[in-house]
Every structure is written in C-alpha cells, then in structure tokens.
Structure 1
Amino acid sequence: MNGAFVSGAFLHRADLHGSVSDPTLDTMNFLNEITLRYPQAISFAPGRPYDGFFDTGQIFEHIQRYLNHLSDNGNSPESVRDAMFQYGPTAGRIRELIADSLRRDENIDVPPDSIVVTVGCQEAMLLAVRALIAGRDDVLLVASPCYVGITGAARLLDVELIAVEEQESGLSTADLEAALESQRALGRRPRAFYVVPDHSNPSGTTMPLATRHQLLDLADRHDILLLEDSPYRLVSGAPRLPTLKSLDRRHRVVHLGSFSKTLFPGARVGYAVADQPVHDAHGRTGLLADELAKIKSMVTVNTSPLSQAAVAGMLLAAEGQVAELNKEASAYYRGTMRSTLHRLEQRFPPGVREATRVRWNSPEGGFFLTVRVPFRADNEALARSAQDFGVIWTPMSYFHPHGGGDHSIRLSTSYLTEHHISEGIDRLGDFIEHEAQRPSGPES
C-alpha cells in the first residue's frame, strides 16, 4: 500500500462488483503490461490495423468534407455549427450514410432509423445484451472461443453466458441446438446467440454459407436473436460470403458493426442495426433500435459528433463503398496472413511439426490464426516467450469463457511488416521447441 494513504476511506475489492476481480477483465491489462515491459519483442498480439495506412492530415479533410456535405444539403451555418459542437441525437447523426454504405457494401437494406451509432462496437454489444436479457432466467449463448469484449460485457451486466464450443471446422448448429434445448430443460430462456461469422476473433474461422442458412433457420425455430459481429469482412482480402443480416428475412439478426478496422480506429465509431419490431402494452410498435437508444442515453449520452464527422467524411469520399476504399489495406492484410502461414510452413516442416506436435489453421483472410502447441500456453509461458525469446502472442485461454484453449495461441498478422513476421516466426519457433523440451512443458 502506498504510504501516502494514511487515513480516510479504504475499499476492499471483495465489496466491489465481482467483475473487477474477474480474470477476464485482467487479460488485456496483462498483455499490455508484457508489451510495455519488453518493447523490443515482436508482438503478434495486437488485433489492430496497420499504421502505414493513416495520415493525420486526412482527419481534417474528412471533417471538412462532411461539413461541406451538410451545407450543400441546405443546412444553415447555425445547423452546421450545432452538428459539430452540440451533443446531437442519441441514436446518431450519420445513420443515413451508414445505411447507404451497408446497402452498397453488404446488401443490407434497412431504414436509417433502425441504426444506432455507438462508441465502438463494444458499446453496441453492451446495449444489445442489456436490452435483451430481461430476467434472471434469461441467458446469452456465445460461440467459444469468443471475443473477450462480449464476455466482459456479460460479466459487467451480471448476465449468464453459455458457451457453445466450436469444433476445429467451426460452429456446429447441432451443438448450438443441443445447448438451447439443455437450457430450456433447466427452466432458462435463451435470448440470443453471439457469433463472429467471418474471420473470427480469435480463431480466424469463417462460417460456411450452408451453416449460415442453418443458423438462421435454427434461430427462427427456437425464437432467439443472433448478434452478428463481423468487423473484418471488408479488410479480409478474401471472397466475401453474405452476412447473416443480408440473408435475414424474419428480423432474427442484430448486426453489430464497427469502422475501427475499416476506416478510423481512433474515432471509436460503431453501430447496431436493430430493425426488430417491438410492441408495447398499448399496442404501439417501434423498433429495437429505439430501445437501444434509450439505454445509450444513460451510458454515453451520444457518440462524439467530431468522430461521426470524420467517419462520415470517409464514407462520402468512398461514396459509401468501404470495401472499395479498403482495397489496398485488404491486399496488405491478405499478404501478411499468407506470409505468416508460409513462414510457419518453413519453420515447421512436416518432420519438425510431427516431432513438436504443432499445428495451425489456415484462414483465407482476416487478422488472426490459431496455433496448437505442445505445452500449456498460459501467462507464465507468455512471459518466458517475451523475456527469453523476444516474441509476444495471446493465450487462447483468454477467449474460452468456461475454460479451454490451454494449449493454443492466437497470432495476429495485421500489424506487422513482412520482415517482422519472418523474424517473429523464427523466434516463436525457437520458443516452441524450447518449451516442448521442458520437463513440465509437453502435454501429458
């Protein structure tokens, strides 16, 4: 305890909300700490866009383009000023532009008033979970391994999470259906299923088209909603399958989106497409988006108009076609993924791979892939890897809400250059071979 605190109130963590002691909420802090402690290490941990595509001067150009757009569309100077300086509508100022972009890029045709502009996709997740989980018997299901953001949101909201473990080939709808039936047999009410269908974080898997149709049919039969989170589609460099939302004909999908990977990470602008009809006790009908906006008004009030303006300017520059705007970035990310897979093949030829029991999946795009290793890939192993071998990765156990992934690691390929990938995989190979020879290292 810091000696400066000699009197006054002292708090015990045990008296605070349980989430502050939950290891899930500490995982990213530990990863950041390791990265700061070993700045010379090559890190395959950050799932962030490559810095080379950003120029600070562009920010002013994008904002000015949006201001010009407002003026050209008949807004008075006072209205333009308010659009930048005042809070603005809770549901967002740029919903029309987002709706147009979704229609052009994703064949998602929804009215602007079904969209809520959020502070990143993380807020969109929190709003959706808070709105849908109404009672103590309501549960949220997730494909596991899953993004830690949904796990953290559920923990903060005291929502019970039911993990449906993916097979190596991806999600099995039969497994999901069994989980739904099991929960109902326990007297619980499954409300929604969270999934990242395209180049998922963390595993890198992509859901086949047939599975997407099966999932929509299952959601309809079991009366649940699907929370679709797909931030890597437009920067994957791989052929795109239809989103669940574009295939949705019965309002079963709440599409959670983000511009962090495609346009401007620092703007922290995301959105939720929630076009589900909501009926009240008086027979009036609105949209789920309206209910999400009510919750948002008590969480962040609104999304920064300045951030919305920058994103809007980029959408206007691309005429709503974000995929076209990201052609160069998509090619880069596809290249880094291919380079990583190629370097793994070189570093672990068949004989070495068999001896070390190392294997990995081969995503066509996205930011992530998964490597199976012959030792327990925990925080202690990560610390040894950073300190002794100069390479950082993410334990897959972070992404399994109910345990699992103890012998797998996630590699992010998006943030690195070809040189760093080559050197980083060499270091990773040395580390894996070293760990495989440790007395307590290999799997029993």
Structure 2
Amino acid sequence: MTTVELSRDSLHASVTDPVASSMNFLNEVANRYPDAISLAAGRPYEGFYRTADITRYLDIYTRHLEDSGHGEEQVRRSLMQYGPSNGQLQPLVSRLLRTDEDIDVPDQAIAITAGCQEAMAIVLRGLFADPADVLLVSEPCYVGVTGAARLIGVPVVGVPEAAGGLDPADVTRVARAVRASGRNPRVLYLVPDFANPSGACLDVHQRRELLRVAAEEDLLVLEDNAYGLFGADDRPRPRLKSLDTDQRVIYLGSFAKSCFPGARVGFLIADQTVVGADGTRRLLAEELATVKSMLSLNTSPIAQGVIGGLLIESDCSLRRANTSKIEFYRRNLRALKDALERHLGTWSDARWNAPAGGFFMVVDIPMTADEKLLEISASEYGVLWTPMSFFYLGDGGRNSIRLSCSALSAEEIDEGVRRLAELVRDHRASLL
C-alpha cells in the first residue's frame, strides 16, 4: 500500500509562514537550552499563580449564579453545557469596562472569546469580505494579528512606527497610498499602550488625532489592550475606545496577563450598528457570533466561571485585583533599564528605548540579530532574546532585539543582561 504524501507547496501559506517558523525556532531553542535565562518570554510571572485559585474563583462564580436566582439545574447547565456563542460574562465585563476604563457599552456589544487571539480572528474574518480590503498595522507588529490575517487571506500593509508610537500623519499617508493602488484600507490595528514588541505608548493628543484621521480616511480601528494595566506610573491613559464618539473603534481585551493565560478567556467590543437589506439593525458583536460559533461554538463556560469569580471578588476592577502585579512589573521594568545601563551603558554602539510601561524594551546592537546569533547566545552565553526582525513584514529590525522583563525575578534580569552584554562585546570584537 502506498501512503499519502503531500507537497508542502500544496498547503496554505499560513503553514509555511516565515514569522510563525521563526517563533517556532525560538521555542525550539528555549526547549534545547532550558537553563538559559529567557529575556524572550513575554508570559506573566508564575509566582503569582496558585492552583487553589481556580476552584476558589469557580466557587465564587457559582455562588453568584445562585444568588442571582439560578437553581441547581440552571447552575449546572451554565457551567457544564454548551453556552451562548458570545458567552455569559457580558454583564460583569461591561461593569469592569465602566469601572476601570470609562468605556460604556451595552452588554450585547461584548463577546467573550477563547483568548484575545480568537477575538482577532473573529473580527478579521467578519470585516474582510472584499479581496481588495487591506489591514493596516502599526509596524513592528505583534505576530498574532499578522499571522491571523495570513491564515484567512487578508492582505497586510505596515505603517512605520516612530519612536513615540504611531504617527497619525503616517496613517494618512499609507492609507492614501493603499487607496491609490486600487485597494481599500479597511481596518487599522494597533496597541496604543506599551505595545508588543516596541513598548511604545501614544499620548492623548496622538490618540485624538488618530481617531480624527480614522474618520477622515474611513478606517475602523482595532485597539488591542493587553498591557494597559501595567504602566510604569499612575498617569491616566484613556483607551481609544473611551474617546470613541462615533463607534469607529473595535476593542480587544484579554485576561491572560491580569488573571492567568491558562484560562484562555478574552473579549471583544463591537458596538457598531449593522443594517440588513431588510432594514433590520443589530450590533456588530451580535453578527460576529456566527463566526465565533463556527470557530469554537462557545468559550468554555468553566473558564468563564473562573474569570467571573475573579471579577466578582475584585468588585469588577482588574486594577484592584492586580495591585501587586502592577507593582511587580513596574519594578521589573526598572530593573531591566538599570541592568542595561549597568552592563551596556559604557558601550557606545548599543542603544535602547525607555517605555512608559508594559513588558518589553528594544535594544539596538552593532551586529545582525538573527537566528544564528540567537543560537550562539543560547548555547554559549545562556541567554535568550527575540530578534526584532520577527515583528516586521519586510526587512526591518535586523540589528535590534526585544527583551522581556515579565517572567523573571530582578536578579535573573540582571544576570540575563550581563550575559547579553558579554555576547555583544565578544561578537563585536570578533568583527573588528
């Protein structure tokens, strides 16, 4: 019997996506060198997690259902049966948004998703119907959204990010260039607060200008807020959605950093009105429920119960629930800045940015920061980092690396940067 063999060229382009392959390489290197200090991992610090919290949160949510008048059969069905495609946490998430973010939307405008990654895929699949539609992204860009776009065949065009974040004038320029080429710039994706990978954060003026440009160029804005809680100070930074007066912003939220990633719960806000051919009017989130149902039927009710318990315990304030995490990540960001100054501060060819919060910093080094150098870094120096080239659509970021400070202690950060400095100095000397 002859076994089936498939040509790799016959598979969808997303299978052979070079960005995904690069990230797989990073994971492979991490697995091969488990003792290396990882300044690459952007995951939360595991010291905050206790397995007992899972059942505790679930018990809190179960009591909430009972106190809301649910009988035993209704509680059992809510947690253990298939549920509504758009989820059951909308009232709690709506209250959270009003409490923490000054965002006021109806419950029906919220969909609970299997992580923020699914929310991205749902929105992109629902909005991109015409082959001429183009997704604009702030570049460098989080690989999750560019990967999701490739998966469903959405063309992506980058808007170069400046040192201070996305310049609204550049959005205008790129949108008009795309339109002049005969295509339609449909949606702009960005992370306004402490972006992954750059750490950039928009000031209030930029946010208002960006919304003005979006209206002028008829763009929808996809705002991803994974890191907004974790500013280096308490300065107010309004979300684009809170400034959105004409329902142009679709908002993506996640509980991965504020609770724990294993819950796999995120959400989207899509309060735009969709008008049918017969004149019927529904919210975009309600229309997108069909896409959600085809991807995963519904988000795990048990996982929703865990997140619901966290929200109830914190009186629907993630800021309150994350007080200790916020301070921890602030200390770690300061520790990373201090370590760079201590170990690379006298190295005139190395430069780094100074984000106002979040998990990441970018370091420019006087050499090509590619997979070959990363392999040497892991095997000979015991430190991992992420090449910034992974986050560009083209050839950008070749001499830059992303460092993450979220998953380590301050002592591990310092030692990791010391090893990185040794790599940079040794490799630079070998090129002279």
Say yes or no: TM over 0.5: yes
Residue-by-residue CA offset, 1:121-174 (whole Å, 9 max, x unaligned): 001001111111111110000000010000100110111000011122221111
2:250 to 251, 254, 273: 254
Return the alpha-carbon distance in structure 2 between the equivalents of residues 240 and 155 of structure 1: 35
**Secondary structure class of the residue paired with 2:177:** helix
Return the alpha-carbon distance in structure 1 between the equivalents of residues 83 and 218 of structure 2: 35
State how 1:57-206 maps to structure 2 within 5 Å: 57-206=52-201
State how 1:207-226 maps to structure 2 within 5 Å: 207-226=202-221
Return the alpha-carbon distance in structure 2 between the equivalents of residues 235 and 50 of structure 1: 13
**Secondary structure class of the residue paired with 1:435:** helix
**Secondary structure class of the residue paired with 1:220:** helix
1:324 to 303, 320, 325: 320
Counterpart position of 1:382: 374
Counterpart position of 1:420: 412
Structure 2, gaps ≥5 residues long: none
Return the alpha-carbon distance in structure 2 between the equivalents of residues 308 and 403 of structure 1: 41
* RMSD, aligned CA: 1.0
How far 1:237 sits from its partner (Å)? Answer: 4.3
- Matched residues, percent identical? 45
Letter in 2 for 1:250: D
Counterpart position of 2:226: 231
How far 1:27 sits from its partner (Å)? Answer: 2.1
Residue 369 (structure 1) aligned with residue 361 (structure 2): yes
**Secondary structure class of the residue paired with 1:67:** helix
How far 1:388 sits from its partner (Å)? Answer: 0.8
**Secondary structure class of the residue paired with 2:268:** strand
Return the alpha-carbon distance in structure 1 between the equivalents of residues 90 and 357 of structure 2: 29
Residue 279 (structure 1) aligned with residue 271 (structure 2): no
- Say whether the 8 Å CA contact 2:164–2:201 is kept in structure 1: no
How far 1:59 sits from its partner (Å)? Answer: 0.7
Residue-by-residue CA offset, 1:388-411 (whole Å, 9 max, x unaligned): 110000000010112200110000
Residue-by-residue CA offset, 1:100-135 (whole Å, 9 max, x unaligned): 001100001001110010110001001111111111
**Secondary structure class of the residue paired with 1:217:** helix
**Secondary structure class of the residue paired with 2:86:** coil
- Say whether the 8 Å CA contact 1:143–1:164 is kept in structure 2: yes
- Say whether the 8 Å CA contact 2:44–2:260 is kept in structure 1: no
Letter in 2 for 1:47: G
Return the alpha-carbon distance in structure 1 between the equivalents of residues 421 and 378 of structure 2: 13
Return the alpha-carbon distance in structure 1 between the equivalents of residues 17 and 430 of structure 2: 30
2:391 to 384, 389, 399: 399
Query: Which segment drifts farther, 101-110 or 18-27?
Result: 18-27
Counterpart position of 1:409: 401
State how 1:255-270 maps to structure 2 within 5 Å: 255-270=251-266
Counterpart position of 2:15: 20
**Secondary structure class of the residue paired with 1:294:** helix
Structure 1, gaps ≥5 residues long: 1-5
**Secondary structure class of the residue paired with 2:156:** strand
Letter in 2 for 1:226: V
Residue-by-residue CA offset, 1:245-287 (whole Å, 9 max, x unaligned): 0000100100000000101210000000000000011111101
State how 1:314-353 maps to structure 2 within 5 Å: 314-349=310-345, 352-353=346-347
Letter in 2 for 1:229: D
Letter in 1 for 2:397: G
- Say whether the 8 Å CA contact 2:44–2:407 is kept in structure 1: yes
Counterpart position of 2:422: 430
**Secondary structure class of the residue paired with 1:235:** coil
How far 1:61 sits from its partner (Å)? Answer: 0.6
2:351 to 355, 359, 363: 359
Counterpart position of 2:45: 50
How far 1:437 sits from its partner (Å)? Answer: 2.0
**Secondary structure class of the residue paired with 1:365:** coil
- Say whether the 8 Å CA contact 1:334–1:364 is kept in structure 2: no
How far 1:74 sits from its partner (Å)? Answer: 0.5
Letter in 2 for 1:353: W
Residue-by-residue CA offset, 1:158-202 (whole Å, 9 max, x unaligned): 110000111222211111100111111111111100000000000
Residue-by-residue CA offset, 1:62-117 (whole Å, 9 max, x unaligned): 00100000000111111100011101000001111011001100001001110010
How far 1:240 sits from its partner (Å)? Answer: 3.6
Counterpart position of 1:3: none
2:27 to 23, 32, 48: 32
| Residue-pair matches, total | 431
Return the alpha-carbon distance in structure 2 between the equivalents of residues 438 and 280 of structure 1: 66
Counterpart position of 2:308: 312
Residue-by-residue CA offset, 1:339-364 (whole Å, 9 max, x unaligned): 11011111123xx321xx10000112
Letter in 1 for 2:322: N
Counterpart position of 2:285: 289
How far 1:303 sits from its partner (Å)? Answer: 0.3
